Amino acid sequence: MRPIYKKAIIMSAERFDASMGQNSIATDELRAALASSNYSFKEVLGMYKGVSETSFFVEYNNGGALADLNSLASFYDQESILHLDEDRNASLVYCDSDEETKVGLFQAIDKSEAFKLDAYTYCPQLNMYFAVK
C-alpha cells in the first residue's frame, strides 16, 4: 500500500534576473509570510530550468490554501509552482493563469541522477534529492 501524504507545493521567491541581494530579501520575506500564515514548510534547494534557487516545500490541507500559495508565488513574479497531491503526482500550476499541467510523479532519486537534470529538489534535512519522473 502506498503512503498517503499531505498535499504540498514547492515554491520560491527568487528570480533568475534578480541580484543575489534581491533574491535574499525576497526569500526572507517569503519565509516570514509562510511562517506567519502557519503553514508547515521546509526550506529546500531547488533547481529549475538549470538555475539553483532557495525554495520552500509547503504542506497544506484545504483547497483555498493552493489558491493562496499560488497568489503568493504570483506576488514574487514566479512562473509556476509545483503542486503535489496525496500520492505525489506532480503538476506545474502557472501563476498567471492557474493552468495546471501534469508532469509526473515526485520521487526520491540519487544525487548523481539529480545533477543530470535541469529540475530537482534537494532536502538538506533528509539529505535526499527528489525529481519528477
User: Rounded CA gap, 53 and 15, in Å?
Assistant: 8
**Digit-coded pLDDT (tens) for 95-132:** 888 789 999 999 999 999 999 999 999 999 999 999 99
What pTM, to 2 d.p., does this model score? 0.92
**pLDDT above 90 covers what percent of the chain?**
83
Find all residues with CB under 8 Å of 23, minimum gap 6, and list them: 13, 14, 15, 53, 54
C-beta of residue 30 within 8 angstroms of C-beta of residue 81:
no
- Averaged pLDDT score across all residues of the chain: 93
Of residues 49 and 45, more confidence is placed in 45
Which of 19-28, 29-38, 41-50, 59-68 shows the lowest per-residue confidence on average (mean pLDDT)?
Answer: 59-68
pLDDT at residue number 1: 59
The domain limits of the chain are 7-132
Strands 7-12 and 40-48: unpaired
* Strand ranges, E, within the chain: 7-12, 40-48, 51-60, 80-84, 89-94, 100-109, 120-123, 128-132
Average of per-residue pLDDT across 9-21: 96
Q: How confident is the model at residue 2 (pLDDT cuts 50, 70, 90)?
A: low
